Amino acid sequence: MNVLAVEGLTKRYPNFVLENITFSIPKGRIMGLIGKNGAGKSTTLKAMLNLVRPDEGSIQMFGKDFKENEENCKQNIGVVLGGIDFYNHKKIAQITDSTKRFYKNWDEAAYQKYLQTFSLDPQKKVKELSTGMKVKYMIALALSHHAKFLILDEPTSGLDPVSRDDLLGLFRQLVRDGERSILFSTHITSDLEKCADDITYIKGGKLLRSAEKNAFIESFQHLKEPGETGELTLEEIMIRTERSHYDI
């Protein structure tokens, strides 16, 4: 079963078009959404969640039409798009209080457990949290209402290598029982080598490829240079695909 099926998603801005994006995520898997700066990763996530109005396309989430079941779907997802920085002066406890009212299946015992697991002090203000702690707090909120699908926009950006590895390890643990799925955007390709099952690559607002990770890597082997042996890394694939040629 697919947790998400995006079909023909199109969003037109005056100077940018996200065009006809189609991909799906089977339940229990981690998909990485890659593309260089400005490729359309955030626009894909926002349009998919109806946070910006798509011009075309359909979204199925948990097997149902997202637009027709938006409230119900939102009860079952955790979304982390670009931080909680505008609540800088609020304490964790205050943000949690206003957040939990929204969720029918809020689980206070689970929330307390995740605060402990992630060493989060509810009396701390957001501005006192490190980047990694902010992401973990958002994940704790999502897990405390038993979100089955996490959608995260560049969750590892700004993290040091150790915190990044820690977070990617947590992602793997979260999907281990096959009940949760994760979609996250990144331009740090090594994140995906460690953690993703599937990869979707967007270039200039268009879908270049969406496939299981090994099949994805295999499909770019034509980019190898003569004499090169072994598989290309995701970084090599991206750099070779995006390489600019300057006539100077």
Ligand X SMILES: Nc1ncnc2c1ncn2[C@@H]1O[C@H](COP(=O)(O)OP(=O)(O)OP(=O)(O)O)[C@@H](O)[C@H]1O
Binding site for ligand X (CB under 6 A): 13, 16, 35, 37-43, 187
Output phi, psi for 230, to 5 deg. 80, 170
Q: Each residue of 225-235: b (16+ CB within 10 Å) or e?
A: eeeeeeebebe
Closest approach of ligand X to the CB of residue 104, in Å = 31
Closest approach of ligand X to the CB of residue 199, in Å = 15
Name the residue nearer to ligand X (CB basis): 12 or 176: 12
Strand ranges, E, within the chain: 2-13, 16-26, 30-34, 56-61, 64-65, 77-81, 149-153, 181-186, 198-203, 206-212
Closest approach of ligand X to the CB of residue 18, in Å = 7
Closest approach of ligand X to the CB of residue 13, in Å = 4
User: Alpha carbon 25 to chain centroid distance?
Assistant: 12
Give the chain's radius of gyration (CA, Å).
Answer: 19
Name the residue nearer to ligand X (CB basis): 45 or 182: 45
Name the residue nearer to ligand X (CB basis): 168 or 202: 202
Name the residue nearer to ligand X (CB basis): 171 or 184: 184
Q: How many CB atoms lie within 10 A of CB 159?
A: 20
Name the residue nearer to ligand X (CB basis): 63 or 82: 82
Over 148-212, what HEC string results?
CEEEEECCCCCCCHHHHHHHHHHHHHHHCCCCCEEEEEECCHHHHHHHCCEEEEEECCEEEEEEE
Closest approach of ligand X to the CB of residue 65, in Å = 23
Closest approach of ligand X to the CB of residue 47, in Å = 9
Name the residue nearer to ligand X (CB basis): 12 or 127: 12
